[in-house]
Amino acid sequence: MADDDLERLSFEQAFKELEQVVARLEGGDLTLEESIALFERGQQLAAYCGAKLDEAELRIRRIATPAAGASQDVLS
Amino acid sequence: MAQLSLFATSQPALPYTVSQLTGYIRRLLEEDAELQDVWVEGEVSNFRRYTSGHCYFTLKDAGAELSCVLWRSIANGLDYLPTDGDAVLAHGRVGVYETRGVYQLYVDALRPAGVGDLYRQFELLKARLEAEGLFAPERKRPLPAFPRRIGVVTSPDGAALRDILHVLGRRYPLVEVLLAPTRVQGTEAPAEIRAALAALNARDDVDLIIVARGGGSLEELWAFNDEGVARAIAGSRIPVISGVGHETDFTIADFAADVRAPTPSAAAEMAVPDRMELQAALEKLQRRLVAAMEKRVERQRWALAEQQRALRHLAPAVRIATARQRLDDLLLRAGDRLLHRLALQRERLSGLVARLESLSPLATLERGYAIVRHAESGRIVHRVDDVAPGDPLQVRVQDGTFDARVT
C-alpha cells in the first residue's frame, strides 16, 4: 500500500483501520509475509494518527449568513 | 325659529354623509402604518366567545378603553385565551366598524404580559410542541464520533464562542470550526438563528452544529424559546447540540436539540473526543501491534526448530546408529535365548543318557551275565539248540572276552 493514500484518510478512517489491522494480526492464521505487511501498515497508520493528534491546530472560518454579509476567513 | 349662533360654522357647499365621514375616518386610520402593526398592553375585561367562535373583549387601562375583536381562525391557533383581569400584550391592526361607528383592534396575537407570564408562555409552547412529538427521543440523531467540521451558531463577540473555541482547541484541534454569527437576543435574533441553521444545513461538509449562548435572564434567552427556532433545530438534518445559558436554564431549543448541554463549554466537550484519551488508545494499539508481531515471529522460530528436530531424526547417520543399536539389542536377546536352549538340550541329553545307561546291556554284564557268540559268525547264542558240541564260542563278560568250546 502506498504512503500517499494515507494523506487522504481522515483521522477517523486511519484510527479505525489501525484497530482492524491489530485485530487481524492478533487473530493469527497469516503467512509471515502477510504479517510483516500488516505490521508495517499498522506502524504507518499509528504514526499518521499520532502526528495528526500532536500537530493539529484549531482552524476557524466564518460563513456568510444573510444578516452578516460577505464571508471572511479568520485564523485561529 | 331658533336663533343661529354667531359661532356656528358656515354651511359647506357639500356636506359629508355619515357613511362618507365614517369612511374617511376609516381610511385615515387604515392608512396609518403605525396603526396597522401595533402592540398594545392593557387589562382584559368583558371577554366573550360566541358560538360562532369569534371572541370580543375590551382592553383598558386607567385612562381609556379599546374594543378588540379576535376572529375564530386566529383564536383557534392561540396557545392562550385571556380571562377578565389578565394583563396582556395584544398585537393587531386598528380598523373601523362602520355600521356601529366604532374603531376596533383586530387582534392577531395575544400573550400574557409581565415576566411571570413569560414562564406561562414557555410552558404552553413547550406543551404544544411536545404533544406534536417534536421532542420525541426517536427523533434524536446520534452525534458523530469524530466530527471533521462543526458549525457554531452564536454571537461572534460573546463569551460562549470564546469558551467553545477554548475547549475545542484543547480537546480536539483536528476539527474545523465554521462560525455562523447571529444575534442571540432581541426581536431579530430568531430569524437570524433560523437563517444560520439553514445555511449550515445547505452545506454538505458539516458533521455537527452547536447552538450556543451565554447565561442571561429569561427575557435575554427568549430568542431560544421561539417556535421557529425550535422547529429549525428539530428539523435540522445535521445533529444539533444546544448549549444555552447556565446549567439550570432550559429553553425550548434545548428540548428540540438532539443533545442538550448545560453550558456552551459543555456543548464543546460533548461534541468531540479528548485528544489525550485518543493518544493513550493509540499507544495501546501500538503496543498490541508490536506484541502480536513478536508472537508471530516466535511462532515461526518454534516451527523452524521443530522441523530441524524432525530432520535430524531422519538423517542417515542417525538411522544407522539407531539400526545398529537395535541389532545389538536383538543379538543380545537372541544370544540369551540360544544359551537357554542349549542348557535345556543338555539337560535332556543327560536325562536320555541316564535312561540309556539304565537300559544298556553293559549294566546286565556288570551283574554277572555274559553274552555268548559263535566265534566265526559272531551271531549271539540265545538257545541251547543254537550250538553243537565242539563249536568254538566267544564269551563276553563285563571286563573283556575269552574263548570257549561246547563240550
Radius of gyration in angstroms for the set of CA atoms belonging to chain B, rounded to a whole number: 66
- What band does B1 get if pLDDT is binned at 50, 70 and 90? very low
Alpha-carbon distance B184 to B158, whole Å? 9
Residue B74, pLDDT above cutoff 50: yes
pLDDT for res B355: 86
pLDDT in tens, B119-168: 888 888 999 999 999 999 999 999 999 999 999 999 999 999 999 999 99
pTM of the predicted structure, to 2 decimals: 0.58
Q: Which three cell numbers stand for residue B107?
A: 387582534
CB B292 within 8 A of CB B298: no
- How far CA B351 is from CA of B4, B269, B348, B358, in Å, comes to 195, 112, 5, 11
pLDDT in tens, B326-376: 888 888 888 888 888 888 888 899 888 888 877 777 778 888 888 899 998
**Which residues of chain A are within 8 Å of residue B288 when distances are taken between CB atoms?**
22, 26
Best B150, B192, B205, B288 residue to mutate vs chain A (most A CBs within 10 Å):
B288
Nearest-CB residue to B173 (from A26, A56, A62):
A56
To the nearest whole Å, the CA of A20 is away from the closest chain B CA by: 10
Alpha-carbon distance A54 to B276, whole Å? 10
Best A22, A45, A49, A75 residue to mutate vs chain B (most B CBs within 10 Å):
A22
Residue-level length of chain B: 407
- How far CA B151 is from CA of B183, B242, B379, in Å, comes to 16, 12, 147
**Count of CB contacts below 8 A, A vs B?**
109
DSSP for B388-406 reads -TT-EEEEEETTEEEEEE-
pLDDT in tens, A20-65: 999 999 997 888 899 999 999 999 999 999 999 998 899 999 997 7
Q: Which residue does chain A place closest to B200, by CA atoms?
A: A63
**Which residues of chain A are within 8 Å of residue B154 when distances are taken between CB atoms?**
none
- How far CA B305 is from CA of A45, B3, B129, B189, B301, in Å, comes to 34, 143, 74, 77, 6
CB B135 within 8 A of CB B231: no
Apex B351 CA angle, B349 and B355, nearest 5: 115
Q: Which three cell numbers stand for residue B68?
A: 378588540
H/E stretch holding B109 reads: strand B102-112
Alpha-carbon distance B263 to B245, whole Å? 6
Long-range contacts, A61-64 (Cβ 8 Å, 24+): A61/B176, A61/B177, A61/B178, A61/B179, A62/B156, A62/B178, A62/B179, A62/B181, A63/B151, A63/B178, A63/B179, A63/B180, A63/B199, A63/B200, A63/B203, A64/B199
